[in-house]
Amino acid sequence: MTTVSPIVDAVLEEHAPALGTDARGYRHHVYRVLNLCRALGAAGAETDDKVAIASVCHDLGIWTDHTFDYLAPSIALAEHYLDTSGRPEWRAEIRAMIAHHHQVTRYRGPHALAETFRRADWADVTLGLRARGLPSGQVRALYQRWPDAGFHRRLVTLTLARARRHPLSPLPMLKW
């Protein structure tokens, strides 16, 4: 079973003009990450909402702020959503989820959900190559439900453009 979220859909609708032609691909990426978190054991109503907020905002700064150094803008979008939706007490946890989602090594901080989120995003971004701990075929099934729709091609294009402009910092979002 796959999960959809009214939070995801509302935030994506709000930012549809910024996402432009990338809206479908990003939406599908968000839903794959959300469902991979669930497959990794992150479940429950409150947890689903936290993962939905982190998922929909985690890369959004690429489009809203036109930058590949997007962690801070994405965190700001999530914090704004949390403040306006009456959930400011989740700020630290959502901030950790977004700030560490491209961390190469395991997240060992106080917010366990950040590690689950990191693993889910890596599983999707690597097309399942980094999908340890997930049921066999889970990534494939999610790609059938929510196809790539050009998302990975867009990431490659953005990476190459960033590397040309900033050869000493081609992937500023990566953390060790």
pLDDT tens per residue across span 4-32 = 999 999 999 999 999 999 999 999 999 99
**Rounded to whole angstroms, what are the CA distances from 116 to 38, 67, 88?**
9, 26, 21
Closest CA to 60 of 93, 11, 100, 3: 11
Q: Are 162 and 150 in contact (CB under 8 A)?
A: no
Q: What is the pLDDT of residue 1?
A: 54
| SS3 category, 148 | coil
Structure tokens at 34: 């959300």
pLDDT at 129: 84
Give the start-to-end residue ranges of the domains of the chain. 6-165
Phi, psi for residue 68 in degrees, rounded to 5: -95, 0
pLDDT on residue 40: 92
Low-confidence ranges of the chain (pLDDT < 70): 1-2
